[in-house]
Amino acid sequence: MRANYWSCSRFADWLRGTAKIKAGTGKEWRLWEEEAKTSHPIRYWIVEEGLDYIQNFVNWPADRLNDIRYYINNRWVSHTHRLTAHPRDIKPGSWSDVGNRFLPCLFNELVDFVEIEQAWHHVLWDKEAREKYQTPWSRNFFRFRTWRCPEAGVDHLKWAMTLTNEEFLDEDEKHLAEPTYQAKAAKEILELYTWWKEVYPNRPDVHDASGWTAYCEMRREKGYKFLDMEDKTPEEAEMCKTALDKSQELELQYAKEDEEMMIRLIKIRESLWT
């Protein structure tokens, strides 16, 4: 992806004979293309096809250098070839079974998608946004697109959630506008992101919430070791059973919730791109 294209320059507008629109709906772009081709078919081809060939030839050395830069970034900086878990979720050097890696790896990638990719997409074409989020432009040559800003990423999703199909409806049907696929996807992504960042880490500890921690503390205070299960009073036996049952119930509840969230994330994977 280049910073500029010769076919979108003022010179191109002059050579084509028809000024290219800066932005528009799909319908507006089709109308412009039809008008430009009809008005000056040869000049249209020279600009839209010929200039691209010439620019590709002239920029070949720079394109190859960029290929090397992107390879280095993807291979050793952004690690776009692999799924990774944050050290907070899986400590480096510790053992983690495959099944236990899925949840943190998938959702850590979702966090990076929102806080890095969507954040960058939110400020890329907006000078005011870059100033608002204090985007650092003096970034290292090899560390492209590693700037992180949760606020910008979330704001981009909130903006996307407002998109509707209104532009494709007649004036008397505007009130029937519905959210676009992008808007629905943004809503789902934000809900999953919020769950992982706010709900998941704040779920009550199973042992504390079930009463098992309190039971073990009580037994230790009486001088019993953890594996010493004898000499329990009827009250202590009931407390133990209740705590274990509640603990199992919470573990199953959390496991079910984790599974449901992973399934939702997998279903929305086609929308995780920039």
Weakest mean pLDDT among 141-145, 151-155, 200-204, 234-238? 141-145
Per-residue pLDDT, 230 = 64
* Tokens describing residue 38: 């009809």
Tell me: pLDDT of 142 over 60: no
Indicate the SS3 state at residue 179: strand
* Tokens describing residue 126: 């907006």
Find which of 90-94, 160-164, 236-240 is predicted with most confidence, using mean pLDDT.
160-164
Per-residue pLDDT, 126 = 87
Q: Which of 136, 84, 137 is nearest to 106 (CA)?
A: 84
Binned at pLDDT 50, 70 and 90, residue 141 comes out as very low
Binned at pLDDT 50, 70 and 90, residue 140 comes out as very low
Model's pTM, two decimal places? 0.78
Determine how many CB atoms are found less than 10 A away from the CB of residue 196: 21
Q: DSSP letters of 8-62?
A: GSHHHHHHHSSPPPSS--HHHHHHHHHHHHHH-HHHHHIIIIIHHHHHHHHTHHH
Burial call 124-149: b when 16+ CB within 10 Å, e when fewer: eeeeebbeebebeeeeeeeebbebeb
Weakest mean pLDDT among 14-28, 51-65, 245-259? 14-28
Q: Which of 57, 58, 55, 59 is nearest to 47 (CA)?
A: 55
Tell me: pLDDT of 246 over 80: yes
CB 242 within 8 A of CB 169: no
Average pLDDT over the chain reads 89
Weakest mean pLDDT among 7-16, 73-82, 177-186? 73-82
